[in-house]
Amino acid sequence: MSSPRFKTIAAIATPQGYGGIGVIRLSGDQSTDFARRLLRNGDQTIFAPNQASFHHLINPETGATVDDAVITFFKAPHSFTGEDVIEISCHGSPVVLSEVLRLLTSFGAELAQPGEFSMRAFLNQRMDLTQAEAIKDLIHAQTTHQARIAARQLRGELSKQLQPIKDGLIELIVHFESSVEFVEDDLGPLNTSLFLARIDQFIEKLNALASSYRVGRLICSGIRLALIGRPNVGKSSLFNALLGRERAIVTHLPGTTRDTLNESFVINGIPVDLIDTAGIRETADFVEQIGVERTKTAISEADLILAIVESTSTLPTEEIELLAQFPVGIYVVNKCDLGVVVSEEALSKLSEKIPVVKVSAMTGEGIDELKQAIHQRIIAEAHTNIEDAIITNERHYSALEQSLTALCQAREDLTAGFTEEVALTNLHQALRSLGVITGETLIADIINQIFSTFCIGK
């Protein structure tokens, strides 16, 4: 049965522009009626569920042919939205598609809002909120890793992991509620320690999920990586070598790079925003001065800093002191094709703990090793395996954190010997916060806000 709550909506579901096929999607009780009105003998046409059929579309106002199309019918509740859904696959012509959409709205269909199909799928309980959000993530994925995580989420991975915790919490709440109701069933010290152990289990599981956000965020948002060093050490050359194309201007003249420059690339599934900077040095040149200022801003905003020195340099004290002012993540010794002159002793003065990688931006030698070192450094800071990233969404993360805070508070209350009533408030809060992730305990305004960030037709 389709839901009578909503009007029938329509939208072009394929991207704007020309293509082989363009799809218009309808969802709601009147989907089949509206589709029929596009056909010459529409009244006699019956769309069979889960079947595609070929039709000539006409403009009923004029009788003119509009296009040939394949119409597929998904009968409620076995459709994406849970309502009757019709997909009209026309030729991918923007003119044809907008004409068909115009006709459908003239019959009474409403233009769909962004994400409205997905929102209906959620409201009709075809999927929970994490799954609906995963559709958006999958569509917008920039890397195969992002797509893989979104696909996993779409199958309900996060909800599956949360369910046993939610069930456990409900069980605990029921126990506590009954001990509040029936005072004679007082918890007693033995039960309290049992309950504390249960709460600890929940905290441990939620903590593991929350910590996967460190990698999850990396995979989805990536990192900013800034290249710094004195003029002419080869920052722009290294920038190009890491990108794999000649993007930045390279000359033998110090001070060539005046403005910061950024480009994106991917290291083992992690998007990297690479920033080339002007060299750091005292300069009288006005434009270069601005460049140096911008370098400082780029450095302050970077997640990881690569400091570059020349293999042929003796590393004078002032260079070491200059670089030591910044939180350098990796030292890169460039121009190794010219022979390594800089001594290990001089390098060790830079830092004992920070990794040093030797490369030649010119020949490409050591660039793969450098990428691995960057990957290691990022992942080491995240403390999680890239394959274990389950939480990628800030909204999910903050709800998890709220749930954890409430659980820790409940734990504290029980340990301090407070009544079950006090602990109950926090257990309820912990459960509500988990419900926010899957969408069970979210208010309509927030739900609308989430879906409004989707694209039209999805």
Ligand X SMILES: Nc1nc2c(ncn2[C@@H]2O[C@H](COP(=O)(O)OP(=O)(O)O)[C@@H](O)[C@H]2O)c(=O)[nH]1
Binding residues for ligand X (CB under 6 A): 229, 231-237, 250-252, 256-257, 279, 334-335, 337-338, 360-362
Q: How far is the CB of 240 from Mg ion (least distance, A)?
A: 10
Q: 388: which DSSP letter? A: G
Name 157's Cβ contacts closer than 8 Å, sequence gap at least 6.
390
Minimum CB separation of residue 226 from Mg ion in Å reads 13
Q: Indicate which of Mg ion, ligand X, none lies near residue 447 (CB less than 5 to 8 Å, by partner kind).
A: none
Q: How far is CA 394 from the centre of its chain?
A: 8
3-state secondary structure (DSSP) of residue 84: coil
Q: Which is nearer to Mg ion, 102 or 245 (CB)?
A: 245
Contacted entry of ligand X, Mg ion, none for residue 233, CB cut-off 5 to 8 Å set by kind:
ligand X
- What is the rounded CA–CA span in Å between residue 173 and residue 183? 15
Shortest separation between residue 224's beta carbon and ligand X, angstroms: 18
**Cβ pair 280, 298 in contact under 8 A:** no
Closer residue to ligand X (CB): 360 or 403: 360
**What is the Cα–Cα distance from 206 to 168, expressed in whole angstroms?**
13
Q: Please, which residue, 200 or 293, has the CB nearer to ligand X?
A: 293
177's contact among ligand X, Mg ion, none, with CB below 5 to 8 A by partner kind, is none
Structure tokens at 152: 């996993």
Q: How far is the CB of 255 from Mg ion (least distance, A)?
A: 8
For the beta carbon of residue 419, count every other beta carbon within 10 angstroms. 14
Please tell me whether residue 442 adopts helix, strand or coil conformation.
coil
- For the CB of residue 31, give the shortest distance to Mg ion in the complex, in Å: 59
For Mg ion (CB under 5 A), the number of binding residues is 3
Question: Looking at beta carbons only, is 299 or 361 nearer to ligand X?
Answer: 361
The enclosing H or E element of 145 equals helix 144-154
Q: Which residue from 102, 120, 133 is spatially nearest to 8, judged by alpha carbons?
A: 120
Taking the C-alpha atoms of residue 71 and residue 85, their distance in angstroms, rounded to an integer, is: 10
Footprint of Mg ion on 231-270 (CB under 5 A): 235-236, 257
CB of 236 to Mg ion, least distance (A): 3
- End-to-end CA gap in the chain: 21
Identify what 252 binds: ligand X, Mg ion, none; CB under 5 to 8 Å per kind. Answer: ligand X
By a kind-dependent CB cut-off of 5 to 8 A, residue 335 interacts, out of ligand X, Mg ion, none, with ligand X
Closer residue to ligand X, CB minimum distance, 341 or 408: 341
Which among ligand X, Mg ion, none contacts residue 99 (Cβ within 5 to 8 A by kind)? none
Here the tokens at position 69 are 């199309």
Partner that binds at residue 337, options Mg ion, ligand X, none, CB closer than 5 to 8 Å by kind: ligand X
- Measured between alpha carbons, how far is 284 from 274 in angstroms, rounded to an integer? 27
C-beta closer to ligand X: residue 11 or 241: 241
Minimum CB distance to ligand X smaller for 159 or for 232: 232
Nearer to ligand X, 124 or 311 (CB): 311
Q: How far apart are CA 196 and CA 206, in angstroms?
A: 15
For ligand X, which is the closer residue by CB, 93 or 256?
256
Judged by CB under 5 A, the stretch of 66-74, 105-113, 229-237, 332-340 that binds Mg ion is: 229-237
Regarding 311 and contact with Mg ion (CB under 5 A), the answer is no
- Note whether 209 and 390 are within 8 A (CB): yes
Under rule CB under 5 A, which residues in 398-457 are in contact with Mg ion?
A: none
Sign of CA dihedral 386, 389, 394, 397: negative
**Which does residue 353 bind out of Mg ion, ligand X, none, counting CB within 5 to 8 angstroms by kind?**
none
In whole angstroms, how close is the CB of 266 to ligand X at the nearest point?
22
- Strands of 44-107 (E only): list them: 51-58, 65-74, 85-92
Q: How far is the CB of 311 from ligand X (least distance, A)?
A: 8
Q: Which does 269 bind (CB under 5 to 8 A by kind): ligand X, Mg ion, none?
A: none
Q: What angle do CA 198, 201, 206 make, to 5 degrees?
A: 130
Residue 22 has which token pair? Answer: 């363009």
Could you tell me the two tokens for 14?
A: 């394929």
77 contact, one of ligand X, Mg ion, none, CB 5-8 Å limit per kind: none
Nearer to ligand X, 15 or 244 (CB): 244
- Which residues does 316 contact at the CB level (< 8 Å), separation at least 6? none
The length of the chain in residues reads 458
Footprint of Mg ion (CB under 5 A): 235-236, 257
